[in-house]
Structure 1
Amino acid sequence: MNRRNLIASVAAMTTISLALPSWAQDEPLKVGFIYVGPVSDGGWTYQHDQGRLAVEQEFGDRVETTYLENVPEGVDAERALTQLALAGNDVIYATSFGYMDAVINVAAKFPDVKFEHNTGYKRADNVGTYDGRFYEGRAVTGTIAGRMTKSNKIGYIATFPIPEVIQGINSAYIHARKVNPDVEMRVVWAYSWFDPAKEADAANALMAEGVDVILQHTNSTAPLAQLQKAGKIGFGQASDMASFAPTPRVSSVYNNWGAHYVKSVGRILDGTWKPEAIWGGIGDGIVAIGEITEAVPAEVKAEAEALRDKIAAGEYHPFTGPLNKADGSVWLAEGQTATDEDLSGMNFYVEGITAELPQ
């Protein structure tokens, strides 16, 4: 069956032998997923589950998938990962940054199980990582935001001050400023990946400061609902959120995780899987720009789509100098582009963002 309810408690399962059944060609590959939010969130977890369904569609009865949803980061994640491993899953995909240490700990106990961790950086002999270059999409939506704001104030609802999130803030601001030198960026930190109440409050706080365009890294549709009431605009995040189109959702940055999951499972089935560090962007089909609606002027839509296409073709890097850090020090010289190492450790705002970055 495609979804199994894993209801046995971890305490009970500690009595089960840790010897896992070996996978053979005439048995389905058992594929487990662990989600930080509900499948119905309409954002991050929903899009990962669409990737799970893409695996089922691609491989049919050669695979058997299951998932655990609403699993908090931390010790709960370690218990849930153990549960999935003891249930006989051959590969487990952990889909939130805060699962990183739990994945490493559990993987050490189950060396015959393959693990892949989304958005993290720690790997092992049986642990790979995969991520999306979300900052590429933020360059496109930042361009639209800079053109569309009437108040010259755009807002960003952030999750946690980690490089992935800081990259997105910086990229959105850089490209908004390129098309509108008068633009200001306001940032509110939700300290959560999915909390509709906090996200709604963050959107309202930004609008109270005069912000009329909001981007978000959080994963619910709550900010769009608030923007809809106020007649302001925003963007879908993690999934397309097209139910809010043509406005307030004028476009989106969404993740096509199915592109990765199908490739990854295929490599396991044909014996070529290895623990890699995969970081895909628009050109790889992992990051996508949702339809730009008629609420956006035709010339702005054309400008945004041209930027999208240049990024996809490798003709333009969103972090291309000259760029300074917020303290005025030089970061990238004229024509210089950021390396992946630079981006993976990003812990600063670029010049022009005056908010203080939490540590």
Structure 2
Amino acid sequence: MTANDAERRAMRHALELATHGPRGLNPQVGAVLLSPAGDVLAEGWHRGAGTAHAEVDALSKLAPGAARGATAVVTLEPCNHTGRTGPCSEALISAGVARVVYAADDPGAESSGGAERLRDAGVDVVSGVLADDAAALLHSWLEVQRLGRPFVTVKWAQSLDGRAAASDGTSQWITGPDARADVHRRRSRADAIVVGTGTLLADDPALTARTADGSRYDHQPMPVVLGVRPVPADAAVRRHPLALVQHDGRDLVALLADLRDRGVQRVFVEGGPTIAGAFLRAGLVDEILAYIAPTLLGGGMPALGDIGVQTIDDQLRLRVASVEHFGDDLLVVAAPRPSTGSGTGSTDSGTGKTHSGAAVPGGDD
């Protein structure tokens, strides 16, 4: 079976509706109910954890029995489990919906199976309609489901000879304004930004995402500081629009689990060489952003700390995704080779070593 034109139009609208919902622990989902003639009966979207799912939200806008024989067009396979809310598959069956058209399969071990349940109840089911559009919308959420933790990007800026700061500790600015603007754009797409207390005390960063004119992007990353030293009361991060989260940094797997529980899907690690090295050493990095300026420092702080490589055979091989120019600066976007880790510790494909977690040495960067 395939979707008809009215159902495809409804799916495009459902994808738009889904964007009204917040990103977080639950996916953004939209739903449209169509009459047998293809007219819109009701629509809905998921408004966050603990609220009605998109299908139930749409059904709630109809009188009892009004959905009998209708088609439900949904951006994600209806769930088949009971959490804070009941199974959407059962709600659709009880409402008398005759046909369900959805875009993306639910990857959850507990929540998937809705399509099978609907078919068993005699409901016509069509899957994969505008699946690429749904995958793009749900990209971050789907990555969290695949990894079992938030997607982690590690960023650093360096001179051509691999230094992040001069011998006296100064580091502002190695790269130019175009590269720094790109960093802020990428910060604005993240849900959390992570630094160590060493970086925070040395540079007093605001940890906000700002446009070229200094104003803040609408979406701001949650500021996360790793380390045991106290954050000064007058630190710039204290003026961040989101509340500061501080962890001791001793267990990065536990940190990511906590951030996931807070609804974080994408983590932007910008905390200096020790923090960057700790995440890489733990096998918890999915993307590397290395901004390279055509300048030489000849000494000072290296851009990356210890990642556990003792011999050339242990080197962590990367896959380069792209190389971009920002003025005179280069951005190399790369990722560790695919690993066999599950997200609660992983195997670095470049080293063959398995990690169950990692600590930031001394809890500070």
- What TM-score do you get using the length of structure 2 for normalisation? 0.30
Q: Which structure has greater helix proportion?
A: 1
Going by fraction, where is strand more abundant, 1 or 2? 2
